[in-house]
């Protein structure tokens, strides 16, 4: 029970990696806030957790909306009294759109969900963490945050922003008992592809040009195991680190 009695928010927890993290955290003793835009999906995850003897509640939120983030944290504190762990998992793709074709609307939407939301949730969590002088943040970055063409320009820029955000927060608050790390998955079998509609042909061709070097796709449970390590005392000396989880793809 590595997270016994810890309170954890997991965004985008209705499916994929977030769902696996929420379930694993609950199995390790955490009280989990299952946050997702899809209310039905969030409730399904809560039912899975509680039916197995865990503790969890669902909170519907659009992480791109500041008011929803305020509500998320207010409800978390009202329900469990505090917060110990924040997992920023929610994210969307960008249809592989290259810079020549990107619109302000698509750029703003991807940056808002993937990067600005993480800034806002961390900013809100700090009011709790600084008072306690203790807190853990786990951000979901991506191979696209470390490489140049694993996605379109907006997604790539947003995940590079997550990497920078993670390192900045980690160092600046290291003396305050707060740790901030990120996971950079490669290809993982999730439903994030449903956030794409009509992929840009040129952009997709350029992105997929290196796919043959990918040893394999990962499973959400494999990423969740890393998120558990980073949230536990086993990682007490791990701070400001971007954990690559890609089966060796970026080693090529």
Task: Please indicate whether residue 80 is annotated as part of the active site.
Answer: no
- Taking the C-alpha atoms of residue 154 and residue 137, their distance in angstroms, rounded to an integer, is 24
Residue 188 carries which DSSP code?
B
The one catalytic residue in 25, 80, 155, 173 is 155
- Taking the C-alpha atoms of residue 23 and residue 30, their distance in angstroms, rounded to an integer, is 9
Give the position of tokens 């899975």: 48
- The answer to whether the CB of 185 falls within 8 A of the CB of 139 is no
Provide the 10 A C-beta neighbour count for residue 144. 26
Residues designated as active site = 155
């Amino acid at each position: 029970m590595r997270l016994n009695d810890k309170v954890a928010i997991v965004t985008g927890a209705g499916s994929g990696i977030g769902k696996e993290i929420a379930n694993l955290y609950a199995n390790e003793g955490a009280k989990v806030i299952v946050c997702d835009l899809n209310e039905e999906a969030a409730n399904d995850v809560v039912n899975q957790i509680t039916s197995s003897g865990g503790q969890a509640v669902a909170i519907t939120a659009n992480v791109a909306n500041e008011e929803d983030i305020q509500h998320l944290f207010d409800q978390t504190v009202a329900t469990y009294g505090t917060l110990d762990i924040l997992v920023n998992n929610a994210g969307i793709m960008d249809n592989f759109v290259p810079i020549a074709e990107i619109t302000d609307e698509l750029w703003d939407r991807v940056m808002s969900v993937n990067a600005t939301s993480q800034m806002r949730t961390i900013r809100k969590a700090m009011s709790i963490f600084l008072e306690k002088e203790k807190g853990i943040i786990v951000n979901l970055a991506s191979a696209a945050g470390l490489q140049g063409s694993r996605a379109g320009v907006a997604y790539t820029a947003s995940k590079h922003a997550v990497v920078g955000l993670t390192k900045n927060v980690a160092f600046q608050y290291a003396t305050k008992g707060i740790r901030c790390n990120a996971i950079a998955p490669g290809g993982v079998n999730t439903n994030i592809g449903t956030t794409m509609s009509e992929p840009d042909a040129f952009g997709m061709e350029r992105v997929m040009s290196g796919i043959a070097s990918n040893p394999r796709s990962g499973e959400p449970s494999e990423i969740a195991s890393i998120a558990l390590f980073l949230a536990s005392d086993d990682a007490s000396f791990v701070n400001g680190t971007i954990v690559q989880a890609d089966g060796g793809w970026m080693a090529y």
